[in-house]
Chain A
Amino acid sequence: MVEYQVRELSEDYPEISASAELNHGGTSYYTLLSSGNVFLTANAVEHPNMTVRKAMYCETYARASQPNLFGEPPEEGTILYGILLHGPDELNKTRPGFAHIAFPNKGCSGYVGRVNLFARFPGLVGELWSIEVEEIPDELDMGIRPESERRKDDEEGAEDHTG
């Protein structure tokens, strides 16, 4: 579903190209979005902090990617590779739980930076999902015991020292 919508992006944004690429093993396709030297693939993960499943294409793009995001401008020909990490909301699978663009390290074993799209575009997120405060009511289930139920608590086992 997400992959399909990602591919459709290029219809609305002609500067972005979307293509279905065959993986190295030739067993499945993945979607590659590119605009200039920025490359993006999408992966569904359980949590935004999870690394993506090992894939040759990921490592290939990551190796070619500019490693220092905040340093010198990238040399000509290098790419910036990011992964759109997305997943459903744990409590309501029909709505998105998160969407981060994470920038992997060279080995694709971790991330060197990320952009939380929900935080960057809070208005949009509000439409998709608002985190509601769990209001704890001031309700104490208490009552006066009827006389027949009253008892001296002996379960603590008072030890008589008075002899």
Chain B
Amino acid sequence: MKRGTPGFVGARLREAREARGLSVTALAEILEVSRQSVSQYENEQQSPRSEVMVKIEQVLNLPPAFFSRPVLKRPEARRIFYRSMKSATKLARVRVERRYEWLTEIANYLQEYVSFPPVRFPRFDVPRDARELSWEDVEDFAVRTREFWGLGEGPISNVVWLFENKGAIVTRGIVEADELDAFSEWHGWQANSSTPYVFLGADKESAPRSRYDAAHELGHLVMHRNIDPKHIENQTTFKIIENQAHRFAGAFLLPTLAFSNDFSVANLDAFRALKPKWKVSVAMMVYRSQDLDLVGKEQVRRLWINRTRRGWRLKEPLDDHLPIERPRMLQRAFSMLVDERIQSRDEIRTALPYSAGDIAELAGLPQNFLDEEPAPISLKAYTKKRSGSTRSTHYGTGEIVDFRAARDSKEG
């Protein structure tokens, strides 16, 4: 490699470009260099001159350390379950996949200091070929997942908290593609020690939608962990896999008997009345009623027509009123590091070579958490217990108190 920037890792430039959703041509134009130059940087045939390097850091909003960091090996065949494999969503998929990889690096860093909840996800005997699963199997997996976690048939108060309590790493982020919504993966090199990751799209700020997305991803994690990765690429089998996850989500969030008992008439207002209780969309209840044969085809057709007439396709009633379920595990881990003086903010910024904004978004932190003079974070319901050399800390619901803002307003 021709010398320009010592220690430059071309693969990191590609990663950063993809994470920002830029093509080689687009980046070259912004940097005012040729397309070939960018390709050569990425392939490490040459490294950027210092003035170009400064521009790269500015444009991609990443610190210099990022571009000299070794890259993580990626498994050759991954089972990342995207909602859409259409070519139109490819750029968005690559973009979120790179950001997801950053998330795994952040989580790895945190786990060096903080023990996360052990993974307690059911491991059923599931096939490599989704076509071997019947609808009854899918319904059964949903029932058994609830049983595995000791849940009855009632509405689940917080799906994201449930996942995190059981050891999943959940994040919410912008996916910038209508059809992507969410994705998930069992991440790790060894099947028996891998961690479930769930990336929920934050583009549609709707709690029912997000709960549905989470339950859908749970379906993949539970039923499709052994799926032949080639089946995800294949249009026919991909559709089957997706439909199974849809059905699982319905069965998991709206268990057969409990929901059937709540069902009274095939009427949008009746479903709307059930929405605050079950915290799922009216559309999902229509689908579930259809799956359970509680409504006939003609009734379903009328329900969809009425739903469109009422303008509920774009936004349903109560979507703004039900609170979004937000992950809190990574945020708590960062708070523990800082509060317990295990790592300073400076040390965190050095260890994690991303922009503060990226870390904040991926870990669900306040935007100013890693600032030089950060606003203090007060964690209410904070209790600690120490036993032996292991410190176990249980954090209750956190509340961000921006003292600077409070002080400024007083002074103002």
Contacts and interface: CB of A to CB of B under 8 A. Distances in A.
Interface residues on B, range: 35 or more
Interface in B258-276: 258, 260-264
Given A47-B256, A132-B154, A142-B395, A97 B261 contact: yes
A157 interface: yes
Given A48-B257, A153-B108, 16 more contacts: A47-B257, A49-B294, A100-B260, A114-B294, A116-B264, A120-B264, A133-B155, A140-B329, A140-B332, A141-B118, A142-B117, A146-B389, A149-B115, A153-B109, A155-B193, A158-B73
Given A48-B294, A142-B114, A161-B71, A119 B262 contact: yes
A90 interface: yes
Contacts of A116: 260-261, 263-264
B80 interface: no
A150 interface: yes
A134 interface: yes
Contacts of B161: 136-138
A142 B115 contact: yes
Given A134-B155, A140-B332, A143-B392, A162 B70 contact: yes
A11 interface: no
18 contacts: A47-B256, A49-B293, A97-B261, A111-B293, A114-B294, A131-B153, A132-B152, A133-B157, A135-B157, A140-B117, A143-B390, A144-B391, A145-B114, A145-B390, A150-B113, A152-B112, A161-B70, A162-B68
B73 A139 contact: no
Interface in B225-280: 256-258, 260-264, 277
B11 interface: yes
Q: Label chain B's interface by main secondary structure.
A: mixed
A133 B323 CA distance: 16
Interface in B145-165: 151-159, 161-162, 164-165
B11 A143 contact: no
The size class of the interface chain A forms with chain B is 35 or more
A137 B165 contact: yes
Given A140-B117, A142-B332, A151 B112 contact: yes
Main secondary structure of the interface of A (DSSP, over half): loop
Given A116-B260, A143-B115, A144-B340, A157 B156 contact: no
A156 B194 CA distance: 11
A42 B164 CA distance: 45
A159 B75 CA distance: 12
Nearest to A162: B7
Nearest to B139: A47
B108 A144 contact: no
A148 to B, nearest CB: 7
Interface of A: 47-49, 87, 89-91, 97-98, 100, 110-112, 114, 116, 118-120, 125, 129, 131-146, 148-153, 155-162
B397 interface: yes
Contacts of B333: 142
